[in-house]
Structure 1
Amino acid sequence: MELFFREQSPEGLSKEDILKGLKQSLEGKTLKKVLLIPPDFTRFHSNAGLITNLYYHLLKDHVQVDILPALGTHEPMSSSELDEMYGDIPHDRFIVHNWREDIVHVGEVPGDYIASITDGLWDRGVGMEVNRLIMDPNYDLIVSIGQVVPHEVIGMANHAKNVFVGCGGKTTINQSHMIGAVYGMERMMGKDFTPVRKLLDYALEHFLKDRPLIFVLTVTTAPKNVIKTHGLFIGDTRKVLEAAIEVSQQKNINFLDRGIKKCVVYLDPKEFKSTWLGNKSVYRTRMAIQDGGELIVLAAGVTKFGEDQRIDQLIRKYGYCGRLNVLELFKQNEDLQKNMGAAAHLIHSSSDGRFNITYAVKNITKEEVRGVHFNAVDYDEVVKKYDPTTLEPGWNTLSDGEEIFFIPNPALGLWIDKNRF
Structure 2
Amino acid sequence: MNIYRESQSRNGLTKEQIRRTLWQGLEGRKLNKVLMISPDFTRLHSNGGFITNACYHFLRAQGCQVEVLIAQGTHEDISEEQFREMYGDIPYDMMIPHRWREDTVVIGEVPEEYLKEITGGLWTQSLAVEVNRKVLDPSYDLILSVGQVVPHEVIGMANHSKNIFVGVGGRQIINKSHMLGAVLGLEQIMGKDHSPVRQAFDYALKHFLKEVPLVFVLTVTTADGEEICTHGLYIGDERAVLEEAIAKSQEKNIRFLDKEIQKCVVYLDPREFQSTWVGNKAVYRTRMAMADGGELLILAPGVHCFGEDKTNDEIIRRYGYCGRKRVLELFEREELLKENMGAAAHLIHGSSDGRFTVTYAVKEISKEEIESVYFQAVDYDEAVRRYDVSRLKEGGNRMEDGEEIYFVRNPALGLWAAKKA
- Pairwise same-fold verdict (TM > 0.5): yes
Map of 2:233 onto structure 1: 232
SS in structure 1 of the partner of residue 385 of structure 2? coil
Cα deviation digits, residues 128-185 of structure 1 (max 9, x gap): 0000000000000000000000000000000000001000000000000000000111
SS in structure 2 of the partner of residue 122 of structure 1? coil
Map of 1:245 onto structure 2: 246
Greater displacement, 166-175 / 7-16: 7-16
**Residue identity opposite 2:89 in structure 1:** D
Within 1, Cα distance between the matches of 2:8 and 2:399?
37
Map of 2:16 onto structure 1: 16
SS in structure 1 of the partner of residue 21 of structure 2? helix
1:386 aligns with 2:395: no
The aligned runs of 1:181-196 (5 Å cut-off) are: 181-196=182-197
Cα deviation digits, residues 270-316 of structure 1 (max 9, x gap): 00000000000000000001000000000110000000000000000
**1:201, CA displacement in angstroms?**
0.3
**Residue identity opposite 2:339 in structure 1:** K
SS in structure 1 of the partner of residue 96 of structure 2? coil
Greater displacement, 126-135 / 223-232: 223-232
**Residue identity opposite 1:373 in structure 2:** Y
Map of 1:299 onto structure 2: 300
Greater displacement, 2-11 / 49-58: 2-11
Aligned length: 420
Runs of 5+ consecutive residues of structure 1 not aligned to the other structure:
none
**1:225, CA displacement in angstroms?**
2.7
Stretches (4+) displaced over 2 A: none
**1:119, CA displacement in angstroms?**
1.2
Give RMSD over aligned pairs.
0.6
Map of 1:411 onto structure 2: 412
Within 1, Cα distance between the matches of 2:67 and 2:391?
42
Map of 2:329 onto structure 1: 328
Cα deviation digits, residues 327-346 of structure 1 (max 9, x gap): 00000100000000000000
The percent identity for this pair of structures is 62
**Residue identity opposite 2:56 in structure 1:** Y
Within 1, Cα distance between the matches of 2:55 and 2:8?
22
SS in structure 2 of the partner of residue 382 of structure 1? helix
Cα deviation digits, residues 245-294 of structure 1 (max 9, x gap): 00000000000000000000000000000000000000000000100000
**Residue identity opposite 1:43 in structure 2:** R
SS in structure 2 of the partner of residue 295 of structure 1? strand
**1:8, CA displacement in angstroms?**
4.6
1:109 aligns with 2:110: yes
Map of 1:89 onto structure 2: 90
1:164 aligns with 2:181: no
Within 1, Cα distance between the matches of 2:65 and 2:367?
48
Within 2, Cα distance between the matches of 1:230 and 1:321?
38
**1:364, CA displacement in angstroms?**
1.2
Cα deviation digits, residues 351-402 of structure 1 (max 9, x gap): 0100000000111111111110100111001001111111000000000000
**Residue identity opposite 1:247 in structure 2:** K
Within 2, Cα distance between the matches of 1:145 and 1:70?
9
Greater displacement, 363-372 / 288-297: 363-372
The aligned runs of 1:271-282 (5 Å cut-off) are: 271-282=272-283
The aligned runs of 1:18-417 (5 Å cut-off) are: 18-61=18-61, 62-417=63-418
**Residue identity opposite 1:352 in structure 2:** D
Within 2, Cα distance between the matches of 1:363 and 1:225?
25
Runs of 5+ consecutive residues of structure 2 not aligned to the other structure:
none
SS in structure 1 of the partner of residue 168 of structure 2? coil
**Residue identity opposite 1:14 in structure 2:** T
TM-score (norm 1): 0.99
Within 1, Cα distance between the matches of 2:299 and 2:10?
30
**1:57, CA displacement in angstroms?**
0.3
Within 2, Cα distance between the matches of 1:155 and 1:129?
21
**1:224, CA displacement in angstroms?**
2.3
Within 2, Cα distance between the matches of 1:96 and 1:81?
13
TM-score (norm 2): 0.99
**Residue identity opposite 2:417 in structure 1:** I
**1:203, CA displacement in angstroms?**
0.3
**Residue identity opposite 1:35 in structure 2:** L
**Residue identity opposite 2:246 in structure 1:** I
Within 1, Cα distance between the matches of 2:347 and 2:139?
40
